Amino acid sequence: MHFGQTFKALTTFKLPIFFLCLGMGTLWSCKQEGSTAIGFKLPEQGKDYTLGQDVKVSLDIPKGDEVTGATYLLDGKQLGTKTNGEDFTFPTKDLSLGYKLITAVVKHNSGTDTLTVNIVLKSDVKPVVYNYQIIKTYPHDTSSYTQGLEYHNG
């Protein structure tokens, strides 16, 4: 049920106004400004490494920012220090398996940043594949499910 006169111009302009706002929002959000934050290039978050494989840690440093020192930690224990933003590599042969937290405390001309990334350290032992062979089969009622129980006289 409708009361009163409708204004059709408003309904005619709703769709173009919507698309105009959507386009303006898209253009505004896609500004290509360089990131000013230091981050990790390597390793990627959650990457799998095999025990014994070396892990390379590389920082993504924005242009114009100068790193004066970086301290690298693994699960809170210090691994090493670099005086600039060069790559750092550490061995994994004596580590335990599982999730590892790599932390980099980076000092630069804009201040100090603490970066973290997780990796997964997996075993280098390949699983043994076992084979089997059926020696003998016994007749049984395949429609009955007994969970390994044996019924006598019942």
**24 in a domain, yes or no?**
no
50: closest CA among 91, 16, 9?
91
**114 in a domain, yes or no?**
yes
CA of 22: how far to CAs of 10, 12, 14, 79, 91, in Å? 18, 17, 12, 49, 50
Give residue-wise pLDDT tens across range 58-104: 988 888 888 888 999 999 899 998 888 789 999 999 899 999 999 99
Question: What total number of domains does the chain contain?
Answer: 1
Residue 101 belongs to domain with CATH number? 2.60.40.10
Determine if the pTM surpasses 0.75.
no
**7 in a domain, yes or no?**
no
**105 in a domain, yes or no?**
yes
**116 in a domain, yes or no?**
yes
**3 in a domain, yes or no?**
no
Give residue-wise pLDDT tens across range 18-53: 777 777 777 666 555 555 678 888 888 889 999 999
**76 in a domain, yes or no?**
yes
**135 in a domain, yes or no?**
no
